[in-house]
């Protein structure tokens, strides 16, 4: 297995772990309180829920969305909608500060024109995980994915462009941001089962936000 250090970037705060995939260490740590406050408001309007996949399994992660579009899944498939299927209302607006932070992170990694219109909120309790998958329900793969991690640490799995093989493991800490795009945009990725723990800001959960152009 190739060492991730192979791609280590020039800047200590950024690790480039694939051709166009970057870990911005602690990038949103200072903003964590404000981000979580905004999320609490979003979740009041569109509550967290456990989706059922097309295969009929219940996802272990609890999910909501904000922005013009929200990502959903049910027996009919994975897709984006412009209304929350629970409330029947439009998804809550994407807080401007969050959008700006995501755009600045993308710029930091050379993705100049990123303007996300969907933000998927994933809340992991201990034992929750996300299997290896591609983010491929979007229409413009020239746009990156920007992902914030808050609260409990997690092991992120970074695979190839095809299923199979053993993925690299990347530890994501509170405040870390991942950006991936270009030739890495359709990489398989996932999250290992969350270990028990307590975090001063989130208690026993990990919160993940992924900003996307739907």
Ligand X SMILES: O=C(O)CCC(=O)C(=O)O
Residues of the shown chain interacting with ligand X in the complex, contacts defined by CB under 6 A: 120, 122, 130, 135, 147, 156, 189, 191, 208, 210
User: Residue 150's beta-bridge partner residues?
Assistant: 207
Least separation in angstroms between residue 58's CB and ligand X is 16
- From residue 123 to residue 142, the character string flagging contacts with Mn ion as x (rule: CB under 5 A) and all else as - is ------------x-------
What angle do helix axes 96-108 and 32-45 make, rounded to 10 degrees?
Answer: 130
Distance CA 44, CA 187 (A): 33
Least separation in angstroms between residue 198's CB and Mn ion is 26
The residue to which tokens 């020039």 are assigned? 10
Q: How far is Cα of residue 120 from the mean position of the Cα atoms in its chain?
A: 7
Least separation in angstroms between residue 122's CB and ligand X is 5
39: left (phi over 0), alpha (psi -120 to 50) or beta: alpha
- Residue nearest to ligand X as judged by C-beta position: 208
Q: Which of ligand X, Mn ion, none does residue 156 bind (CB under 5 to 8 Å by kind)?
A: ligand X
Instruction: Identify the H or E element spanning 113.
Output: none
- CB closer to Mn ion out of 44 and 58: 58
- The residues of the shown chain that bind Mn ion, judged by CB under 5 A, are 135
């Amino acid at each position: 297995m190739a060492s991730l250090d192979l791609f280590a970037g020039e800047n200590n705060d950024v690790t480039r772990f694939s051709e166009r995939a970057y870990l911005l260490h602690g990038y949103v740590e200072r903003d964590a309180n404000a981000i979580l406050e905004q999320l609490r408001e979003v979740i009041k309007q569109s509550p967290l829920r456990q989706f059922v996949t097309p295969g009929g399994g219940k996802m272990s992660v609890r999910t909501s969305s904000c922005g013009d579009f929200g990502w959903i899944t049910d027996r009919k498939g994975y897709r984006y909608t412009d209304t929350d299927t629970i409330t029947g209302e439009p998804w809550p607006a994407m807080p401007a500060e969050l959008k700006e932070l995501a755009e600045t992170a993308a710029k930091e990694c050379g993705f100049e024109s990123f303007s996300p219109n969907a933000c998927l909120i994933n809340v992991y309790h201990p034992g929750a995980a996300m299997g290896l998958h591609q983010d491929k329900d979007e229409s413009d793969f020239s746009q990156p994915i920007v992902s914030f991690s808050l609260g409990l640490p997690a092991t992120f799995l970074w695979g190839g462009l095809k299923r199979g093989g053993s993925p690299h493991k990347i530890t994501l800490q509170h405040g870390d941001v991942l950006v991936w795009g270009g030739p890495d945009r359709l990489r398989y990725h996932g999250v290992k089962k969350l270990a028990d723990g307590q975090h001063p800001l989130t208690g026993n959960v990990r919160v993940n936000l992924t900003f996307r152009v739907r």
